[in-house]
Amino acid sequence: MLTAVIVWLYAGALCYAYGALFFRKLPFALTVLSGLVILTVLAQLVSLFMPMTAWLHLLLIAGALLLLAVRRIPRSILPGVLPCWPGVLAGVGGLVWVLTFLIVLENATHLPSNPDTNLYHAQAIRWMETYPAVPGLGNLHGRLAFNSAWFVTNALFGMAFLGQGSFPLAAGLLALIALSFFWQGMMTLLAGQVSVSNLLKTGFLPLTFYALGGELSSPGADLPVSLLVWVLTILWVEQVENEQPYHLPLMTLLAAFAVSVKLSALPLLAFPLLLARFQKRRLFTLGWITTLVLLPFVARNLVLSGYLVYPYPTVDLFAFDWKVPPERVEEDRQAVIAFARWVGPGQFDAPFQEWFPHWFSRQSLNRRVLFFAALLTPLAGLIVRFRPLRLWAGWLVVYGGVCFWFFSAPDFRFGYGFLLASLLLVSAIGLWMGVTRFPWLSRFLSFGGTALMLVYLALTLVRSFEPRTLSERLLRPVGYIQVPVQECALANAPAFCAVNYGYCGYHELPCVPSPRHWVEQRGDDLRDGFRALPR
């Protein structure tokens, strides 16, 4: 836990420095969030030429010190972090924040629970920590070509160069940043400023633990996408309530980054597009920020797989010798769809009336209720009659995200962000309209909501506490577990093969799910990459 706190403080300070360089008047949490995105984009670019080593951190630290020396960043941040709240309110808010921090700290130091972490997350991160982007890495395992900017974030702040293993703490860092943003809205709501955006922030605070608590110890891409969906939804509502000049560049930065984290976030680009209102200057801002964010991501795609977008073999413009064979790319695409729909590998293209009943029968009661509640939000929207009408546009974006998720890869952990954003946005508007009509509801929300928040957070902390591993976690997180492997071979080089379920974990490179006799090493060094032999 001590290691986690130190890493978060270091990473937060670094993110703040780079965020403040580009955004001078953002709230503290959003400044840190924008800095996290900017550092990840820079790290993606650097990863094309060098691994995530101490040299990169030295360069980033030198850049932050230079910014501070030339006064490009504010030297005092306490007013933005700790505004002056009345005594009782400060005490209650402080208790909420302490519980929130302890929950994140407890869960972020657990053993990674996402099964994909042992399948390919940890391996992808170790490749980034050890080598520059490796040509044709997807030939070793198709999942290693599922390029995600979030793996770069994890490699950057994994601190593997310290020689103590890699720390999967990026999810906890991002959660603390987002929860700080939500917490500020809750405090403002308790102070009597009832608005849709503050209601959203307050609601997303407990929902972070309800929907994403199990992901806090894993480097998977589902948590960051969900949090970015929620932050962007709030920013849209804030823009409607009180237009701010920084919203367009910030929302463009966050939406483009979300797409580089996971392609299922593509509907989020509609937020800045709507905000641009087809004005040339705004469209230019949207265009250049999106290009700068996605360019390193696309470049990494080309190196890892030979394709601009993976796993979509139809977008095939290059003839690199390390390119993953199209038939194997198509197999990966079909496997993702089949897994999400709970159907067999050969049934990925089954008609809706065949796969939906099977998919629905495998969902828990909670998920069924959430699915239909989100699906029926158009009816609720008609009842509450969104005012102003621009709120409809924001709801349509997240509802479009629900549809995009459902018809592409409807695994629930892929869709929590859009599902809960759609549902909570309609609920927040309904509550806000109720408060404007019946002012006494404001006091009820303040006292009743605060009491429920404290009870829920306390129960969450108790339920998630792992006393058995506490002594081990006091100094450092559990990290990646060691999985059994055995020696095997590629066509012309040795390798390690997984023993159980294709899990390689964080094992020494190269590790593959099974022997790859159709894959050869392109040179004497692993950084030379891999290519598939012709059939």
Give helix 280-305 / helix 247-261 axis angle, nearest 10°.
20
Backbone phi, psi, residue 480, to 5°: -80, 140
* pLDDT tens digits along 470-522: 988 898 898 898 899 999 999 999 999 999 989 999 999 999 999 999 999 99
User: What confidence score (pLDDT) does residue 328 get?
Assistant: 92
Say what percent of the chain tops pLDDT 70. Answer: 95
User: What confidence score (pLDDT) does residue 78 get?
Assistant: 47
Which residue ranges make up each domain of the chain?
485-532
User: What confidence score (pLDDT) does residue 25 get?
Assistant: 80
Question: CA Rg, the chain, in Å?
Answer: 23
Residue 84 has pLDDT above 70, yes or no: no
**Taking the CA of residue 128 as centre, how many other CA atoms within 13 Å lie in the half-sphere pointing to its CB?**
33
User: What confidence score (pLDDT) does residue 210 get?
Assistant: 92
H runs (alpha helix) in 23-168: 28-47, 54-69, 78-81, 87-108, 115-116, 122-130, 149-156
Q: Across all residues in the chain, what is the average pLDDT?
A: 90
User: What confidence score (pLDDT) does residue 247 get?
Assistant: 85
C-alpha torsion sign, points 108, 112, 114, 120:
positive
The angle at the Cα of 101, spanning 97 to 102, to the nearest 5 degrees, equals 120
In sequence order, the 6+-apart residues with CB closer than 8 A to the CB of 517 are 489, 490, 491
Query: 67 is written with which tokens?
Result: 């910014």
Q: CB of 453 within 8 A of CB of 206?
A: yes
Q: What is the DSSP pairing of strand 511-512 with strand 494-498?
A: parallel
Amino acid making up residue 123:
Q
CA gap 443, 448 in Å, rounded:
8
* pLDDT tens digits along 5-23: 999 999 999 999 999 888 8
* pLDDT tens digits along 219-262: 999 999 999 999 999 999 999 888 776 788 999 999 999 999 99
pTM of the full structure: 0.94
CA gap 530, 518 in Å, rounded:
10
Q: What average pLDDT does range 71-94 have in this prediction? A: 65
Confidence band of 51 (pLDDT split at 50, 70, 90): very high
User: What confidence score (pLDDT) does residue 120 get?
Assistant: 94
CA gap 309, 316 in Å, rounded:
9
Sheet containing strand 494-498, strands side by side: 485-489, 494-498, 511-512
User: What confidence score (pLDDT) does residue 29 get?
Assistant: 93
Query: 270 is written with which tokens?
Result: 């509609």
CA gap 174, 154 in Å, rounded:
11
Q: What average pLDDT does range 212-220 have in this prediction? A: 93
H runs (alpha helix) in 362-411: 365-375, 377-384, 390-408
Helix, strand and coil content of the chain, in percent to the nearest 5, comes to: 65, 5, 30
Q: Which of 65-79, 149-163, 402-416, 518-532 has the lowest mean pLDDT?
A: 65-79
Residue 81 has pLDDT above 70, yes or no: no
User: What confidence score (pLDDT) does residue 388 get?
Assistant: 67
CA nearest neighbour of 360 among 369, 348, 351: 369
Residue 87 has pLDDT above 60, yes or no: yes
Q: CB of 149 within 8 A of CB of 44?
A: yes
